[in-house]
C-alpha cells in the first residue's frame, strides 16, 4: 500500500541523512578512529551501489 511504501522510503531516507550527517563530523569516541567522510567516499563508488542493489535482490529472492 501507499503507507508501507512511504514508510520504507522515509526509513531509507532517514538512514542516509543520518549517515551523511554523522560521518560529516570529525568525532573521535573512546580512542576509536574517526569515521570522517567515509560514507561520502563509499557512496561515490559504483561498488557500493552494486553491493546495495545485489543485497536487496538477494534478500527478496524466495
Where does the pLDDT of residue 34 fall: very low under 50, low under 70, confident under 90, or very high at 90 and above? Answer: confident
Look at residue 26 and tell me whether its pLDDT is greater than 80. no
* pTM of structure: 0.75
Question: Cα angle vertex 33, ends 52, 43, to 5°?
Answer: 25
User: What's the longest Cα–Cα distance across the chain?
Assistant: 46
Pair 39, 15: CB distance under 8 Å: no
pLDDT of residue 58: 96
Where does the pLDDT of residue 46 fall: very low under 50, low under 70, confident under 90, or very high at 90 and above? Answer: very high
Pair 41, 24: CB distance under 8 Å: no
Mean pLDDT rounded to a whole number for the chain: 91
Distances (CA, A) of 1 to 28, 59, 61: 42, 20, 21
Amino acid at each position: 500500500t501507499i503507507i508501507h511504501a512511504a514508510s520504507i522510503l522515509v526509513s531509507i531516507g532517514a538512514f542516509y541523512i543520518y549517515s551523511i550527517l554523522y560521518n560529516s563530523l570529525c568525532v573521535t569516541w573512546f580512542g576509536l578512529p574517526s569515521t570522517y567522510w567515509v560514507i561520502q567516499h563509499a557512496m561515490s563508488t559504483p561498488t557500493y551501489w552494486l553491493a546495495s542493489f545485489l543485497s536487496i535482490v538477494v534478500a527478496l529472492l524466495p
